[in-house]
Amino acid sequence: MNDCSDAYTPRDTRNLRIFNVWAISAAVMFVAATILISRGIVARGPLAWILAIANLLLTLLAVRAYMVFLRAADELLRRIQLEGLALGFGAGAVFMLSYRLFERLGALKLDSADPFVVMAIFWAIGQYIGLRRYAPGMER
């Protein structure tokens, strides 16, 4: 029986947990700020600016936490992450460059943040492929 924890050292687990906390906080803040501002629950003014800046800061903290995680990561895990990032970035780039043409042809107009969803999904798929490729067997 193998599990995901085999891929992480205790330091990786700790750094990944910190990244997850910031990433989830940033995601919640993004959704909340978007709803509050776009639906007019918070009037455009100082409070709306505070929400937008708070979202920016949380996102930057998540990026910083990921950089710390990646730089300190076990070397095979870093390789798996790099492959995941490459697939995510590639898929995001292909999507952004090609979908613009489809939009001009009448396809559904997308929000500028939507390509991030494509990148995130393919980043996750890339990590899954990498983890599966190097998955250890039964031996402990």
With respect to other proteins, which residue has the nearer C-beta, 74 or 114?
Answer: 74
Place of tokens 């001009």: 104
Closest CB 26 distance from other proteins, rounded Å: 27
Q: Which two tokens stand for residue 123?
A: 């980043």
**Cα–Cα distance for residue pair 85/40, rounded to 1 Å:** 36
The footprint of other proteins on this chain (CB under 8 A) covers a number of residues equal to 19
54 vs 129 by CB, closer to other proteins:
129
Helix (H) or strand (E) holding 140: none
Among 79, 89, 110, 114, binds other proteins (CB under 8 A): 79
Residues 37 and 24: their CA atoms lie apart, in Å, by 20
Work out how close the CB of 11 gets to other proteins at its nearest, in angstroms, rounded to a whole number: 8
* Nearer CB in complex with other proteins: 2/98: 2
- Phi and psi at residue 134, to the nearest 5°: -105, 15
Helix (H, G, I), strand (E, B) or coil at 113: coil
**In this chain, which stretch among 38-46, 59-67, 69-77, 103-111 interacts with other proteins, using CB under 8 A?**
69-77
Residue pair 59/19 in contact (Cβ under 8 Å)? The answer is no
User: Which residue in 12, 30, 58, 91 binds other proteins (CB under 8 A)?
Assistant: 12
Binding site for other proteins (CB under 8 A): 6-9, 12, 74-77, 79, 129, 131, 133-137, 139-140
